[in-house]
A and B are shown apart, each in its own frame.
Chain A
Amino acid sequence: MIVPLFLAGCDGDTDPNGPNGFIQIKGSDTIVNAEQMVAENFIKIYPHIAIAVTGGGTGVGIASLINKNCQIAGASREMKSKEINTANKYGVHPFETVVAFDGVAVIVNLNNPIDKLTIDDLHNIYTGKIKNWKDLGGKDIAFVLLSREVSSGTHTYFKEQVIQLGKKTSKEEFLPGTLLLSSSQAIVEEVVSNEGAIGYLGMGYVSGRTKSLMLDKGKGYFSPTVPNVISKQYPLSRPLYFYTDGDPNNLTKLFVDYALSEQGQQCFKSSGFVPLKDNATENK
């Protein structure tokens, strides 16, 4: 689902000679709420800059960047080499900035007795090799597999890491019966009301209404918590990115720098993500 937000400063008593203009941010639904918060704080400092923040999925943001419909694309996965080639063909040269870290949480209903899974279990569940929670020692309920739409970066990330287990040559796909929901919130609602459901989403959407599973990829079980993501012990830890056309300049540089600043990082933190550890610029 697309959540457009239009922000514009309207304080009369600020410096009229400050930077002014318009920035369109599109992309990942995972970080759209954090971007929105960054943007709201940003325009308090630069009231003459208008910012529009829209979600839709990482694929949407990258396509918009290539189609020159946005200046900054939020992404929850790296751009694929095929996408970079397409971008170059359109005269766009994507520049990557890591803005925060995220863990992809696997969530189930609160009444589900299962607390932890291995990545292989997860793989078997989502490819249909096992069909029922009782095969994992849970209740006798069939799995209801939830996923985001194909436009989602989280979908692509999950497919690479879990469905294809990180192997580039793998041809495995999500079980065709997997529900492709149009927003992370829809996944939360279905998990809350359905005991057989299992879904995945960015840490920012985790709440007390669902249970996040501990995951193991050969190094023991870890929960999707901030320390586990920082230490990369949680198996589904990933960076979140901003993509710009070429090095960020003028307005976009102002915004990207703000997102990397202490106040900007605070917004990512309070949206449930993991801020870049020390000095942000060293992480690129």
Chain B
Amino acid sequence: MRQKISEYIIESAIKLSGFVIIGFVILIFLFLLKDALSLFGTYSAGKFLFGTNWLPISEPPKFGMIPLLLGSIYVTFGAILICVPLGVATALFIAEVAPRSIKQILKSLVEILASIPSVVLGFIGIIWLGPFLKTTFGLTTGMCGLTGSLLLAFMALPTIISISEDALVSVPRTFKEAAYGLGATKWQTMWRVMLPAASSGIIAGVMLGIGRVIGETMVVLMVTGNAPVMPTSILQPLRTLTATIAGEMGETVSGSEHYYALFTVGLVLFIITFMINFGADLSLRKARQ
């Protein structure tokens, strides 16, 4: 009897915390939505969504989101190009090729990589990586999209590596044995059998990594130069959605147009990351089946 009661209490406590979390997410979303949509009472939605000038303290202010959105897309896309091949290859190496001793060392190194605070990476970007890229590529300044992409790729790598590695390890042994039995080489097995079999998990890892990249703030605020310009190349300074919120939120008076505009930028960011995480979730679910 007593056991039944305690079980009931524990069960409801767990249920309650689950509901509380869901409640929080919904409340955050509603809060964001309310303040974000308040912008459109005084500022036209068309000008916000398609405007190409972000001039928040001018008279009259202009809140055109396009340069910020493109800035985020450029930096994120650059980071994906770097971290996806590198991450998946590392996962393959850890899961399939590396001897046991190296495997353990590599796994803990990846975890250490995950624990580097983003502000430290930002410092490295300002002091070393930026000037290095400037001289290497003959750029006008090292504060550009590429510097941000490289550092963000570093930040996304641990997520991609550990989830992809998990996916590869959980591919049934029989797949591999069958491939070897048919005379496939190690490389053929990895490329044609293991990767496709683990693809859903790998895609989920990649998407979570992208989610991290697009939401990261400190690094991009520090190294991308934050110029609110329509970017034409990843080698020029640009400004992202996150850096705009972080750079300007402190100076806005709550209830002002600028304040609402930043919330609207936040809503756009929320929708993007929500879609990416949703995609990752779908693919993880597919992987489990």
A binding-site residues for B, Cβ under 8 Å: 2, 56-60, 62-64, 66-67, 83, 86, 90, 141-142, 144, 149-151, 156, 171, 173, 176-182, 186, 189-190, 193-194, 196-197
In Å, the complex CA distance between A182 and B130 comes to 16
- B252 interface contact, C-beta 8 A: yes
In the complex where A144-B140, A150-B57 touch, is A179 in contact with B227 (Cβ < 8 A)?
yes
- B28 interface contact, C-beta 8 A: no
List residues of chain A with CB within 8 A of the CB of B230. Answer: 176
In Å, the complex CA distance between A44 and B141 comes to 45
Q: From A141, A171, A193, A197, name the one whose CB has the most chain B CB atoms within 10 angstroms.
A: A193
A-B contact pairs, 18 of them (CB 8 A): A57-B250, A57-B251, A58-B251, A83-B253, A86-B256, A151-B251, A156-B57, A176-B229, A177-B227, A177-B229, A180-B247, A181-B143, A181-B225, A182-B247, A190-B141, A193-B130, A193-B131, A194-B131
Contact yes or no, A66 B253, CB < 8 A: yes
Majority secondary structure, B binding face: loop
Q: How far is the CB of A64 from chain B (nearest CB, A)?
A: 8
Contact yes or no, A182 B134, CB < 8 A: no
Interface residues of B in 22-60 (CB under 8 A from A): 53, 55-58
Q: From A56, A62, A150, A186, name the one whose CB has the most chain B CB atoms within 10 angstroms.
A: A150
Contact yes or no, B225 A179, CB < 8 A: yes
In the complex, which range does the number of interface residues on chain B fall in? 20 to 34
Majority secondary structure, A binding face: mixed
* Complex partner residue of A193 from B53, B134, B222, B237, CB under 8 angstroms: B134
List residues of chain B with CB within 8 A of the CB of A197. Answer: 141
Contact yes or no, A194 B134, CB < 8 A: yes
B binding-site residues for A, Cβ under 8 Å: 53, 55-58, 67, 126-127, 130-131, 134, 140-143, 221-222, 225-230, 236-237, 239, 247-248, 250-254, 256
List residues of chain B with CB within 8 A of the CB of A83. Answer: 253
Q: How far is the CB of A14 from chain B (nearest CB, A)?
A: 35
List residues of chain A with CB within 8 A of the CB of B134. Answer: 193-194
Given contacts A179-B225, A182-B247, 5 further A-B contacts (CB under 8 A): A60-B250, A176-B228, A177-B236, A182-B226, A193-B142
